Amino acid sequence: MEQTLSIIKPDAIERNLAEEIKNFFKKNNLNIKDSKKIHITKEEASEFYKVHQSKPFYNDLCAYLSSGPIIVMILEGENAVLSNRKLMGATNPKDADENTIRKMYGISIDKNSVHGSDSVDNAKKEIEFFFKN
Ligand code: CDP
Ligand code: MG
């Protein structure tokens, strides 16, 4: 079974959407194999998002991910990486399809409620980052 990393971002935790989002994954055949609520430092966020270090939004992104508690999860299921990306919807909630997490709950391109790995390779690295010490 494939695994992917999901993060419920601070905007969704703040609005008490974590249970609804978790249930949405379960209902759509992604099992939550592991889950923990953490509050990371800006340095940890910068390390996690380092693929984006040359982007203009990098600094704000790292400040944001470390601004409050998040929930990191290992999701497991058939084609988990792609399946999660479909359930998340487009990066900008304005462009996201109906019945996707970002359409239902996202506020803006930066406060878009969830993160999901974009490839099997990155999923392995991101799971390692949060769950294996
Ligand atoms: O999260 P996703 O893989 O859909 O998008 P990304 O291109 O990998 O960007 C990572 C995150 O950076 C997004 O989820 C947004 O929170 C943020 N971002 C932003 O604040 N402004 C942009 N123009 C693009 C992305
Ligand atoms: Mg991405």
Radius of gyration of the chain (CA): 14
Phi-psi sector, 79: left (phi>0), alpha (psi -120 to 50), beta: left
Distance CA 84, CA 106 (A): 15
| Residues framing ligand 1 (Cβ under 6 A) | 52, 57, 61, 91, 109-110, 112, 115, 118
CB 35 within 8 A of CB 73: yes
Of 61, 94, 108, the one to substitute when testing ligand 1's pocket (max ligand atoms within 8 A of C-beta) is 61
3-class SS shares of the chain: helix, strand, coil, % to 5: 45, 20, 35
The structural domains of the chain, ordered by start, are: 2-130 (3.30.70.141)
Q: What is the mean pLDDT of residues 79-103?
A: 98
Of 55, 82, 107, 109, the one to substitute when testing ligand 1's pocket (max ligand atoms within 8 A of C-beta) is 109
pTM exceeds 0.85: yes
Return the percentage of the chain with pLDDT > 70, whole number: 99
Q: Spot the catalytic one: 115, 116, 123, 127.
A: 115
Distance CA 17, CA 77 (A): 22
pLDDT digits (tens, 9 = 90+) for 11-23: 999 999 999 999 9
Q: Cα(109) to centroid of ligand 1, in Å?
A: 7
Active site residue 115: yes
